[in-house]
Structure 1
Amino acid sequence: MSITFPAGVIPLNSPFYIEKTTIEKEILTEIQKPGALVRIRAPREMGKSSVLLRMIHEAHSLDYRTVSLDLKQASQSSFNNIDKFLHWFCVNVALGLGLEPRLEGYWDENIGCKVSSTLYFENYLLRSIDSPLVLALDDLNLIFDYSEVVKDFFTLLCSWHEKSRVLPMWQNLRLLLVYSTEIDVPLEIYQSLFHLGFVAHLDSFTLEEVMELVKLYELNFISEKDTKLLMDMTGGHPALVHLAIYYLSQEKLTLMELLDNAPTSTGIYGSHLYRYQMKLQLEPELATALKTVINSTEPVLLNPILANKLNNMGLIKLNQNKAVISCQLYQDYFQQTL
């Protein structure tokens, strides 16, 4: 069995994908509803794009049309203003449907780019297909840095979602929005779009799922006790678990060696930890709040805004508004560095 380094999206044919059965079924149920809007959210490296890939595949099996746009593919200049961004957006949706863009027949500066793009979808794209369109936007958080663009774009998506309640044509548009919770969302943006639709939050692996992954890698030398140690260190974080099991499968280090070096800058999680370290250095209030959690032997009641940010980053878990550290990795590493 060929084993490749775990990075990025897990391919459809990979034997190492752990199905998120419940949440995937819920998403699939939602996108079959007229005018659906589904938001897949989680911290980075939690498997959002891998779930999206499978939802697009399932939509194909329902004979739906699908277009998946990754905002990482948009050039910097596409975000200069809302007109340029909507040009990029509309052209790429058309091409994804195998249609000629033909924007010139619908774009009118006298009515503005938002109305133009609405007419373009209504009178061209949606009329050119005879089945629902699942339109997926991955890495949506990349647009958050462009305040004027994101405000107009999210308002537009809201208006399209509202149209689906009264106009049958718009009921064929099903939106799948994928974004990282690590990015701070300004209140006006949150209120414009992030209170709508079905929210699919991806969680960490359970102990049983980690044990299943160990079996898939055929690591017979890893016992249930060993798996629990790995679970304690990583908290079941999908990317961290996959990475550990990959290194163990290469037999270049033992589990004890891996665990001993894990909470260090030279361990296999060095780059992962460094990213968080940089974020915390830029936001001292967050670092102080996290340090409070680390130094406490009991769940801690934090400032709600700081608690929400740390939770969205995946560094803590909240239970009845009280915070505990997510896993031993963060406890040991940040106890040394904060």
Structure 2
Amino acid sequence: MNYQKFLQTLEKLKRAPKREAVLRMLLRGLTAEETAKEMGSHPGTVRKQISQLYEDFGLKKDYEDSSSRVVSQHDQPISVKLVSKRDQLIDLFIKYKPEWVEGRTPDSVTIDPLTGIVPLDSPLYLPRTADDRCRQALTADRSERGSVPFIRIKGSQGMGKSSLLVRLRDFLEREENQVVGFVDLAEVSQDPEVLTDINLLLKWFTQAIADTFSESVDKLNPPPLEKNWQKEGSSGLNCTNYLEEHIFTPIKQPKTLLIDGIDEILGPDKPQNPFLKLLRSWNEKRMKVVSQSPIVWPSIVIAYSTEPYPELDIKGSILQNVGLEVELPEFNAEEILTLAKKYRLEWNPEQVHPLMELIGGHPTLVNQALYKISQEQISWSELESQATLVTGPFGDHLLQKFSILNQNTDLKHCFDQILGGETCKNEIAKFQLEKAGLIKIDNAGVKVRFKLYQKYFS
């Protein structure tokens, strides 16, 4: 089986989460009986799933390995090694996806630099407390609460919001057997006209939700949106009514809608207010028990960056007091040490300290630093000397922060004061600087967030 066929087969398994779970246990070395016990299933059922897996990956039968043949003096075979289908499957995964095989992640596996979303199968992803909070909220007994969750994941850029969203989707589909829809508003940027017209935006948004759920539910066949969109009616009402009647009500099993890229619709010349008010109204009127009718709406999880706060002069939370707010934390020292080991660095806690002093526990910056040291073989002193250069490892990140300050005089003045050890009395500016990730406000006072920013902006 070639690599492309292997990936296609693996992708199809996402639609059969129980069979994928059996596969992972098979690769761990568990027997059918052990797998059945762990899954609470019947051994016969598991054996059928294992047989189907062998067929999926093109493993038809066991074969004799001639390289292991032992012969006598008369050239008669005494013993022959029989290569089982399980061994063949393990060999296939060692070749194409070694991180799935128990104890088989060889040093020869290439570590690629992380850019954007951390792939689901990457060993470099570190779960945090935010992962647990979201999972618990999305799997809690809804009958006792009289509502379904609305979760707001927020943080500055590079904190891992999108990577968390894709893992929530995988967890809900594979382990909770939920129907999950995923909409990325960043795709709207390909059509600028949509970003300036609330009717076009909500029409696009409604169709995107219908499409993503239709892909997950075979028998879901909603009517054409165009015929159900009243031109004289409210866009928000059109969107809400269509989704409730034709998408959410027909899906009887638990469901969740994940929305990424909220940043795209923010701005004075964009329809941010009516869009966000629509989300708020869903949370208040559709996702809670407010009548005798049952809740048919899905749980909703949205993710957005806090960088737009200063740019758009936002003085409070975008969706104040709506649902559960989950702000992504930085890595702590123990997590950085764990990540260093994944980069095959034999570090101790003393080596983590100067790294955290320079860049804190910012996930993107930490990964960039560890990649440089482990894969490009540069020393810590070399990394530190290059840290504030525009051509250095953190150049793009620093220019993005510089752009935020350069666009706002009040913000720049307040940051200058904090940079020089003075007191800034502009509370709004301090709030926005903190949301942009440039300063830290705690019981110890107000200070520049990282040594990296202190050195660069000085």
**TM value normalised by structure 2:** 0.68
Q: Deviations over 1:234-284 (max 9, x none)?
A: 111110000010111113421110012102223211111111112211112
Q: Deviations over 1:134-163 (max 9, x none)?
A: 111111011012656222212211221112
2:356 is aligned to 231
1:64 is aligned to 178
**Structure 2 CA distance for aligned equivalents of residues 35 and 51 of structure 1:** 20
Q: Deviations over 1:289-308 (max 9, x none)?
A: 11222221x8x454211111
Asked if 1:129 corresponds to 2:243, the answer is no
Q: Structure 2 matches for 1:163-178, cutoff 5 A?
A: 163=285, 164-165=287-288, 166-167=290-291, 168-170=293-295, 172-178=297-303
1:26 is aligned to 133
Structure 1 residue corresponding to 2:236, chosen from 111, 114, 117 = 114
Q: Deviations over 1:181-226 (max 9, x none)?
A: 01025669957x3321100001111111111111111112x44322
Structure 1 residue corresponding to 2:431, chosen from 308, 312, 318 = 308
The structure whose Rg is larger is 2
**Structure 1 CA distance for aligned equivalents of residues 449 and 304 of structure 2:** 21
**Structure 2 CA distance for aligned equivalents of residues 63 and 129 of structure 1:** 13
2:99 is aligned to none
Q: Structure 2 matches for 1:23-102, cutoff 5 A?
A: 23-32=130-139, 33=142, 34-60=147-173, 61-74=175-188, 75-98=191-214, 99-100=221-222, 102=224
1:41–1:293 distance in 2 versus 1, CA, 3 Å: same
Unaligned segments of structure 1, at least 5 residues: none
1:217 is aligned to 343
User: Greater RCO between the two (CA within 8 Å, min separation 6)?
Assistant: 1
1:47 offset after TM fit, Å?
Answer: 0.6
1:86·1:117 contact (CA, 8 Å) conserved in 2?
Answer: yes
**Structure 2 CA distance for aligned equivalents of residues 6 and 148 of structure 1:** 31
**Structure 1 CA distance for aligned equivalents of residues 444 and 271 of structure 2:** 34
Structure 1 residue corresponding to 2:120, chosen from 6, 12, 20 = 12
Mean Cα deviation higher: 242-251 or 110-119: 110-119
1:37–1:227 distance in 2 versus 1, CA, 3 Å: same
**Structure 2 CA distance for aligned equivalents of residues 101 and 189 of structure 1:** 40
1:160 is aligned to 282
Q: Deviations over 1:27-58 (max 9, x none)?
A: 12222343311000000001111111111122
**Structure 2 CA distance for aligned equivalents of residues 101 and 330 of structure 1:** 53
Q: Deviations over 1:149-178 (max 9, x none)?
A: 222212211221112222555453211110
2:332 is aligned to 206
1:10·1:17 contact (CA, 8 Å) conserved in 2?
Answer: yes
2:452 is aligned to 329
Question: Alignment partner of 2:308: what SS?
Answer: coil
1:112 offset after TM fit, Å?
Answer: 2.1
1:129–1:11 distance in 2 versus 1, CA, 3 Å: same
Runs of 4+ in structure 1 displaced over 4 angstroms? 185-191
1:302·1:323 contact (CA, 8 Å) conserved in 2?
Answer: no
1:101 offset after TM fit, Å?
Answer: 5.4
1:260–1:48 distance in 2 versus 1, CA, 3 Å: same
1:288 is aligned to 413
Question: Alignment partner of 2:122: what SS?
Answer: coil
Kindly provide the amino acid, as one letter, of the partner of residue 116 in structure 1.
N
2:315·2:428 contact (CA, 8 Å) conserved in 1?
Answer: no
Over the matched positions of the two proteins, sequence identity in percent amounts to: 28
**Structure 2 CA distance for aligned equivalents of residues 38 and 23 of structure 1:** 11
1:321–1:251 distance in 2 versus 1, CA, 3 Å: closer
Unaligned segments of structure 2, at least 5 residues: 1-108, 215-220
1:151·1:189 contact (CA, 8 Å) conserved in 2?
Answer: no
**Structure 2 CA distance for aligned equivalents of residues 65 and 180 of structure 1:** 26
1:162–1:3 distance in 2 versus 1, CA, 3 Å: same
Equivalenced residue count is 330
Question: Alignment partner of 2:119: what SS?
Answer: coil
**Structure 1 CA distance for aligned equivalents of residues 184 and 414 of structure 2:** 34
- RMSD in angstroms over aligned alpha carbons? 2.1
**Structure 2 CA distance for aligned equivalents of residues 78 and 294 of structure 1:** 41
Question: Alignment partner of 1:128: what SS?
Answer: coil
**Structure 1 CA distance for aligned equivalents of residues 316 and 206 of structure 2:** 21
1:321–1:86 distance in 2 versus 1, CA, 3 Å: farther
Kindly provide the amino acid, as one letter, of the partner of residue 213 in structure 1.
L
1:245 is aligned to 370
Kindly provide the amino acid, as one letter, of the partner of residue 290 in structure 1.
F
Structure 2 residue corresponding to 1:149, chosen from 259, 263, 271 = 271
2:117·2:163 contact (CA, 8 Å) conserved in 1?
Answer: yes
Q: Deviations over 1:72-130 (max 9, x none)?
A: 11122222311111111111111101244521342112222211111101211112211
